[in-house]
Structure 1
Amino acid sequence: MKKTALFAVASMATLLAAAQARAADAVADAEADRTKTVEELVVTGEITFRNRTDEAAPTLSYDLEYFQRFEPLTAGDAMKRVPSVAFLSDVLESDGARLRGLDPGYTQILINGERVPGAGVDRSFFVDRIPAELIERVEVVRSSSANRSGDAMAGALNIVLRDGYTFDGGYVRAGALMFSDDRVRETVGGVFSAPVGPGRMVIGANYQGRRNPKQKFSQRFDEPGGTLDNIEIQSDKRNGEDYSLNASYDVQMEDSTLKLSGYFVRTDRLEDEDSYEYRGGRVGDADFLTYNDNNVDIQTDNWALQAKYERNMAGGKTRFKLGYAELSDDQDEIEEEYEYLRDTRPFPDDDRFTGDLTRTRLKDKEVSGELSHKRDIGAAKLEFGVQASEKNRDTDISAVRNRVTIPNPPATRPALGAYGPLVAVVGGLNAIEERRIDPFVMVSGGDGPMVWEAGLRWENTDTTIEDATAPAASRKVDNDYSFLLPSAHLRWNLSADDRVKVSVARTVRRPNFDFLSPALLEAELGDNDLLGNPNLKPETAWGIDVGFERRLGSRGVAGVNVFYRDVKDLIEVASTGQVGSEGAGTFVLQPRNTGDGSVWGVEFDLSTSLSAFGLDDTGVFLNYSWLDSDVDDEFGSRRFNDQAKYVFNVGFIQDLPDWAAAFGATYRKQGKAFGRVVGEEVTTTYGADLEIFVEKRFGERYVVRLTGTNLLDSKKKETFNKFTTIADQRSRDFDEYELEREEAGPVFQLVARATF
């Protein structure tokens, strides 16, 4: 598959030679229309607002300049400023984007409009893997169209990378970040764009030191308001480096266009957690229960190649696309625990040591292609085609446990060889193949005040799951399903400033990979076992979005949107009625398509200058999303798991033209979230986040920015209700009640940019 994709990309490149003679004039015209000087994008004295798109589908577009003055490190740092995007990450982390507050598996992450494989079992892609320096813009696509994959129940977030026509010239960026533990990490990068042969090329590279020093504190009770059993004091340091490279080559010819693009991102990270547990909340040797040392060494590589060729032919425009994307995630985890007061001998006499070594190797490869054609049919346009993909996902998780009795705490960690041979864990050695063929047809039209689009997509999926750790009779399972996904969008301009958008679409969410594996995982959910279900059907949803948008002045915009999703075949974990491996009172649980659910909310956003008040150099930004949902599980009614009740952002930028300077601030707050599964219930709250920047420009080529993040010392607080059995959870007979608090201090960043 990989060789085929690389060969096809190289083959398309040969089209360049034949097109050179007629391309020169077209290239010159395209450059004049699209490219900007690098100073316009990097050393800017203007405030940039949210774009007002003209397409029928409800889409919010934010150029990098909208975020850049706050110097976001990653795509996730940028996305947390757009409407309805929540995160359930650790403090100072923005990894799994939760559009409209829903689980990341409900949000489709696209790069240049294409799906990308992710490491998450819910198919999600961590957006903090993409450095912000690669981005041209971020698009929030609230409702699906027939020419895009239907895996977007909550919507899609499209990360558009810079191409050869983004700007003309180059720049370098260098800076340093100082963290709350007084450690300093470096950041450096550069981008260059220029004509090359008959086309234009952009190439960029970025290196970024990453660090997140956090502190956690937990209190564990026998029940709410009950006796304090123990406390845990934990330090959690995450230190690493990100490396990225992207390139794009674009050719505009007389009757065709060619685009070759690719990117590579590597994340190297070491996560080091040290935990000290004490009896009764008293810190000292007499009450020292355990010491836990947990280290995870992570290397994650994401890379992709894509070729797109469009040509005027057969009375319209035909498009060919071919892409290859790969993710490899290697993790080595060592967790060692020294138990002191948990045995019959008091510290520091004979104590017990437990060491677990887990090795995880995940590789996800996907080849995709498209053949489509678009043409006029009277006053309307017809687009039809077929998209196909083949995914191969291989997981290899092996582990070994070393349990010994030791006379005193060791001064150094035992050698790796002491752990002995690794053995595949149950459910940890599997291969999943997924093949899709998705034909589609769309009709669009309208001009003047009304533009419309209607389409139909037929998604066909064949899946093969093979788990080497499952019983022989169920080791390999085949499953296939098809869905018809209609969609329709209408944009109606009520006036030059006011417009209404209405969208209806059917979408799907495919099951988590771990839910599909036929293996039986013992004591996976509390003391209950989890048995995978390869025959799960995807969830489906009918959704509607209705929005109103008003232009404010020459550049501002304000909008409000109401959405609703009616979800069918909801996947929930339920009891099979079989007794679990832990004996009476425990059960074997299995994910099933059990029922229905619904999601709804209201989204408001504002992006404008204050010119109406005589403040031409002041820009304000505000968005607020009120989010809600309903689903019935084994214990009653609740919201969708971990959906934030609201997301709120507000900020301003003040330019000082006479001083060639600017400053600004943003304030963000995310509402409470609640999640419930068998054996555990979690309530999560976040403190507010305040960011500021101060900028000074030097001539037309240089700018220096100082930014501060997490200036309110935001805290993440979690409340855990833990139960041993389903019956205990219904009767509220607690196994444990835990309060956990996590915090990390402010981060300051000083960055200089120079254009050339």
Structure 2
Amino acid sequence: MKLALLLGAAFAPLLIGNAAFAQVQEAPATALEEVIVTGRPVLRNRTDEVVPTLSYDLEYFQRFEPLTVGDALKRVPSVTFLSDVLESDGVRLRGLDPGYTQVLINGERVPGAGVDRSFFVDRIPAELIERVEVVRSSSANRSGDAVAGAINIVLRDALSLDGGYVRGGVIVFPGNEIGETFGAVYGGQVGAGRLLVGASIQDRINPKDKFSARYDRPGGVLENVEVQTDVRSGTDYSFNAAYEVDVAGGTLDVSGVFVRTERLQDEDSIEYRGGRRSDADLLTINDNNVDIETDNLQLRARYEREMFGGETRFKLGFASLTDDQFEFENEAEYLRDAIIFPEEDRFTADQTYTDIEDQEVSAALEHTRPLTDSIELEFGVQYVGKERDTDITEPARVRFTIPNAPAPRPAQPAFGPLIPIPGGLSTIEETRIDPYVMVSGGSGDLKWEAGLRYETTETSIDDQTIPRIALAGASNAIEKDYAILLPSASARFQLNDTDRLIVSAARTVRRPNFDSLSPALLEEEKGDSDFVGNPKLQPETAWGVDVGVERRLGARGVVGLNVFYRDITDLIEDVNTGRTGSAGAGTFVYTVDNVGDGEVYGVEFDLSTPLDFIGMDTTGVFLNASWLDSSISDFMGDRRFNDQSDYVLNFGFTQDIRSWNAAFGATYRKQGEAYGRVIAEEVTTRYGADLEIFVEKQLWSNTVLRLTGSNLLDSAKEEDFNKFADLGDQMSRSFDEYELERETAGPVYQAVLRVAF
């Protein structure tokens, strides 16, 4: 009944107006244009969107041969990552937690494996994309889950390419590990419509070295050191297809993309007493492997035609994620008695099986029509039904404690039956029905849009690891419903022939993390204290403003400056229930609740231009720099939002050499320091600078060879950990441990050949 009422309310305006709608469509690019050196720099697009949007075609990134969308996003303004070296997974737009950034594929939401609902952008090979859009503010016709903004990954469609090309290459990873990359794309007329198909296979190997030194306190006694190797290796497989055809007076567009990630994370570490690396001081030997297989599938159908005096769009979508992981950890302990290595004193074995299935079914009915010669009305209703099943199990830990006269332990420990971990067996269902209305127009030098979006959410949480309700057959599900009104407005003023001003204001939302909703009790999750989720959490909401100016430089260049501000309310933070924890006196049970407010603000600068104004029209330069800051109050006082870098800087150049049919270039990136604080732990993270280069040469009329190098400065990740037994010790600065960790990898080189046909 609710769906019928909302559909009726959203489409009542169909009775108004009676004007025709016309669509202008650009011709597809040829395969040669996709592959061959252009002879001029590739720059950021200067879009005509009213909402502040930065757009980057694949060619902007492609010369540096990024393996994934995450690698490509490292070059756009305000994007940071808090990943391992050579990793770019959870995108942190404006430095905020990935849950504050909306990741879209072709304008549609996609589920992610993370408990914060975020999607790992390193799951999409860069070869699939047509362009990437950074949408700084929100509009009524898009989901409001975009406090920091949105990243829209636009894949090639059936109209984007005429012809095809194949791509093959060799990748040399650190440690002289060799990988391969292969891809093929074709687009053209098939039957009555146009078809595009593409596929790719690429290896990813990331061997890293880590070293940790642990002290009893800052500046105190060195208690132990750990030497670790961390090798992450795997293969990404992808397939995408799109078909567009005229049907019954309208246009039908169907598309799909499938990506499989197979990955093995192999961590081996040795821990020594003090700073001495000798058998006499050997403390532990640890072997920790995680075998991962993740599948992402997105199917989409869109039909649009002229009717009711405008254009009507019908959309259906299906997106799914399955994440299967098996993890084992074997640890041998020494120096628990007087007998040193090779005689172990205790052996411990753990296993964990993780199976996450997340599915979303979406539908939309939308209509756009002119009201006057200069004003257009758009309205519709969008539906999303999500079901997320989590199954995390492990057998009882196997432990052999061996006395001074060691006895042999079995090579294959006998594990017991699999048992769900607390919070590890659950089903979360969400139903969203979001009607919206938006009006846009323009006159002379002004273009604008304004709209209202009403998001309704019904949530059901069934955690099967908490005690069941005593009544036979009774449901253990906890229900939570809420609705939020999200206004938005944007305007673009053309100040003169070269300058324009863009102003935007919008209300956005962030829904709670899945692990924050689970009512399962996790013992000693916060140091020695326990944690229990809160299924009654309200979402965080934010009012935001973006004000930017943009100037055209010459015929193709652009320079922009943007200032943003977000006022976030109902922040979800840790709170103390006052109950004693499972470890006894001095420990507590913590939960999360909507408490307090926060502010996020910053300045973003970007420049992308050829140097044609000084006679160097084949030289392109780019520079973007963002200064990021925020303010929040937690259990210890004021801090920034957790893990927000204070700045991110990118600059570089490309140089085309027309007479040689060649080009080369370089890019430099530096991300500022980040600090995070939760109960019982604080961490400061720093990254070294990253340098990438490319050289390309057109070999024949349809063939290009490109050589690239990344991480040429051997960037390091450094982390400082302050660890405490409980909140009381954290407040008094009574340290449980102070750890310094450094992670390094090495350069990555690629040789890639593209042949167009």
Q: TM-score range, shorter-chain basis? A: over 0.9
Query: Is this contact kept in 1: 2:400–2:409, CA < 8 A?
Result: no
Equivalent residue number for residue 5 of structure 2: none
CA drift of 1:337 comes to: 0.6
Equivalent residue number for residue 7 of structure 1: none
1:422 aligns with 2:415: no
CA drift of 1:183 comes to: 1.2
Equivalent residue number for residue 376 of structure 2: 381
Equivalent residue number for residue 245 of structure 1: 239
* Runs of at least 5 residues in structure 2 that lack an aligned partner in the other structure: 1-21, 470-474
Superposed CA offset, 1:407-428 (max 9, x none)? 899999943x722211110110
Say what the alpha-carbon RMSD is for the aligned residues. Answer: 1.6
CA 1:410–1:454: 2 relative to 1, 3 Å = farther
Equivalent residue number for residue 44 of structure 1: 37
SS in 1 for 2:497: coil
Which of 86, 90, 95 lines up with 1:92 in the alignment?
86
Superposed CA offset, 1:241-275 (max 9, x none)? 00000000112579522110000000000000001
Tell me how far apart the structure 1 counterparts of residues 169 and 402 of structure 2 sit (CA, whole Å). 48
Q: Which amino acid is 1:692 matched to? A: I
Q: Which amino acid is 2:462 matched to? A: E
Q: How does 1:57-456 map to 2 (within 5 A)?
A: 57-252=51-246, 255-343=249-337, 345-349=339-343, 351-378=345-372, 379-400=374-395, 401-406=397-402, 414-415=411-412, 418-456=414-452
Query: Is this contact kept in 2: 1:399–1:423, CA < 8 A?
Result: yes
CA 1:459–1:409: 2 relative to 1, 3 Å = farther
Equivalent residue number for residue 19 of structure 1: none
CA 1:187–1:281: 2 relative to 1, 3 Å = same
Query: Is this contact kept in 2: 1:462–1:481, CA < 8 A?
Result: yes
SS in 2 for 1:181: helix
Equivalent residue number for residue 17 of structure 1: none
With 540-549 and 249-258 compared, the bigger mean Cα shift is at 249-258
Equivalent residue number for residue 727 of structure 1: 728
SS in 2 for 1:612: helix
CA drift of 1:347 comes to: 3.6
Query: Is this contact kept in 2: 1:610–1:618, CA < 8 A?
Result: yes
Tell me how far apart the structure 2 counterparts of residues 38 and 349 of structure 1 sit (CA, whole Å). 64
Tell me how far apart the structure 2 counterparts of residues 411 and 717 of structure 1 sit (CA, whole Å). 39
Q: Which amino acid is 2:641 matched to? A: F
SS in 2 for 1:39: helix
Tell me how far apart the structure 2 counterparts of residues 105 and 411 of structure 1 sit (CA, whole Å). 48
TM-score relative to the length of structure 1: 0.94
CA drift of 1:404 comes to: 1.1
Superposed CA offset, 1:459-494 (max 9, x none)? 000000001111225942100000000000000101
Tell me how far apart the structure 2 counterparts of residues 207 and 413 of structure 1 sit (CA, whole Å). 40
Query: Is this contact kept in 1: 2:542–2:566, CA < 8 A?
Result: yes
* Runs of at least 5 residues in structure 1 that lack an aligned partner in the other structure: 1-25
Moved over 6 A (4+): 407-413
CA drift of 1:448 comes to: 2.8
Query: Is this contact kept in 1: 2:282–2:340, CA < 8 A?
Result: no
Percent pairwise identity: 65
Tell me how far apart the structure 1 counterparts of residues 501 and 193 of structure 2 sit (CA, whole Å). 39
Superposed CA offset, 1:639-684 (max 9, x none)? 0000000010000000011111111000000000000000000000
SS in 1 for 2:76: coil
Superposed CA offset, 1:384-403 (max 9, x none)? 11000100000000012111
Q: Which amino acid is 1:435 matched to? A: T
Superposed CA offset, 1:510-529 (max 9, x none)? 00000000100001111111
Tell me how far apart the structure 2 counterparts of residues 107 and 534 of structure 1 sit (CA, whole Å). 22
Tell me how far apart the structure 2 counterparts of residues 695 and 369 of structure 1 sit (CA, whole Å). 44
Aligned length: 727
Equivalent residue number for residue 472 of structure 2: none
Query: Is this contact kept in 1: 2:279–2:340, CA < 8 A?
Result: no
CA 1:144–1:228: 2 relative to 1, 3 Å = same
Tell me how far apart the structure 2 counterparts of residues 412 and 367 of structure 1 sit (CA, whole Å). 51
Tell me how far apart the structure 1 counterparts of residues 407 and 248 of structure 2 sit (CA, whole Å). 73
Equivalent residue number for residue 602 of structure 1: 603
Superposed CA offset, 1:706-731 (max 9, x none)? 10000000000000000111111011
Tell me how far apart the structure 2 counterparts of residues 700 and 490 of structure 1 sit (CA, whole Å). 45
SS in 1 for 2:329: strand
Superposed CA offset, 1:82-127 (max 9, x none)? 0000000000000000000000000000000000000000000000
Query: Is this contact kept in 1: 2:37–2:662, CA < 8 A?
Result: no
Tell me how far apart the structure 2 counterparts of residues 457 and 516 of structure 1 sit (CA, whole Å). 25
SS in 2 for 1:77: helix
Superposed CA offset, 1:321-362 (max 9, x none)? 000000000000001110011456544445100000000000
